[in-house]
Amino acid sequence: MIINIPTPADYYTSGKELLNFAWDTTAKLLVEFDQAGFYGFDEAEISDPYWAAAKRTLTTALTIVQQAVELIIKGRIVEISPYILISDPPSQWPSPYKEGGIDFEAFRTVDAQDLIRVHDTFAQAPFGTHFVQKFHSLRRVRNVVMHSAGKNVSVQVAEVIDNALYMHKSLFPEESWFQVRREFLRRDPGSHLGSGEYATNTTCWEAEIVVRLLEPSQVTAYLGIDKKQRKYLCPACLDDANTDAEHFERKLAVLAPKAPGSTNLYCPVCNHTHTVVREDCAEVNCEGNVISGDNRCLTCSSWQ
């Protein structure tokens, strides 16, 4: 008898935790660099040495993204049957006569290079060509980094962000990564010291940087918004953010559809569409005309 058989949720949870770890490492670099001007540094002057110093961090983050994807694919396979993951022939299996049963972890499971083939053999819907290409490209980078000094591997910060967002969207198409990320920050060990109060602030800051960093097509694909469209404060994120320590100005929500009279506002962080009122803001110096349901201007954040 086999005991402690893993569930899809076990692999999905572990995979998302690794994705968050890779994201957290990379996002901290981006947030730190975003403050260069505040601390008196010229971004253009320090950009090259800053990202050169971050090379090892970025390559490591990319390998962790790959490990996360491997776990999530295993979860997909377990949805079909966990026993498909067992790779050794029966002659090499642990003894079935062991008292108390055989722990599933005692079996050798399918190698990473075979995960796609195993999944696509048994799944009703195989992975798409682009996903498979991305997966194997990540594997090649990971192998170089893990099995050599990796001196010739050059990874750009946008590459890590793109791969993390692409893989999450491909594997969990109904989810918003930034909604998932905010929940991770709320459960972070530092939340016991008060950092959880800034989960929305941090997530929106990261999302704002990502929108600036990525190409318009990537922003549309991963965040579901138009990079070039006028953006507004999200009423839910504004209410949830800690505004005592800072003036919350992270505008990420867009009118959906984009139209003069549209009354629906979508936010990629909370992943919700909010109903708004189209009226001119009462503030003299504000040209906004998108007002929240609790009567707050979503351009300047003033109460009406």
Write out pLDDT tens, residues 82-110: 999 999 899 999 888 877 889 999 999 99
Does residue 265 carry a pLDDT above 60? yes
Per-residue confidence (pLDDT) for residue 152, from 0 to 100: 53
53-64: average pLDDT: 93
State the pLDDT at residue 289: 96
Stretch 246-261: mean pLDDT: 90
> How much is the average pLDDT of 218-246?
93
Nearest residue to 301 (alpha-carbon basis) of 254, 232, 244, 246: 232
pLDDT at 216: 96
What b/e string do you get for 54-68 counting C-beta neighbours within 10 Å, with b at 16 or more? Answer: beebbbbbbbbbbbb
Question: How far, in Å, CA of 267 to CA of 290, rounded?
Answer: 14
For 105-138, write each residue's pLDDT tens digit.
999 999 999 999 999 999 999 999 999 999 999 9
pLDDT in tens, 132-172: 999 999 988 877 766 555 555 567 899 999 999 999 999 99
Three-class SS of 52-88: HHCHHHHHHHHHHHHHHHHHHHHHHHHHHCHHHHECC
pLDDT at 68 over 60: yes
Asked which of 134-138, 189-193, 249-253, 299-303 is least confident by mean pLDDT, the reply is 189-193
Q: Measured between alpha carbons, how far is 268 from 225 in angstroms, rounded to an integer?
A: 7
pLDDT at site 79: 97
Paired tokens of 263 = 């009354």
Give the torsion through C-alpha atoms of 4, 7, 10, 16, to 10 deg.
Answer: 160
* Percent of the residues in the chain that have a pLDDT greater than 70, as a whole number: 96
What's the rounded Cα separation, in Å, for the pair 180 and 141? 26
Residue 193 above 70 pLDDT?
yes
For residues 128 and 31, the answer to whether their CB atoms sit within 8 Å is: no
Q: What is the 3-state secondary structure (H, E, C) of the chain?
A: CEECCCCHHHHHHHHHHHHHHHHHHHHHHHHHHHCCCCCCCCHHHHHHHHHHHCHHHHHHHHHHHHHHHHHHHHHHHHHHCHHHHECCCHHHCCCCCCCCCEEHHHCCECCHHHHHHHHHHHCCCCCCHHHHHHHHHHHHHHHHHHHCCCCCCCCCHHHHHHHHHHHHHHHCCCCCHHHHHHHHHHCCHHHHHCHHHHHHHHHHHHHHHHHHHCCHHHHHHHHCCCCCCCCECCHHHHHHCCCCCCCCCCCCEEECCCCCCCCEEEECCCCEEEECECCCCCCCCCCCCCECCCCEECCCCCEC
Instruction: Report percent pLDDT > 90 for the chain.
Output: 80
What pLDDT score was predicted for residue 101?
A: 86
Mean residue pLDDT of the chain comes to 92
- Higher pLDDT: 219 or 1? It is 219
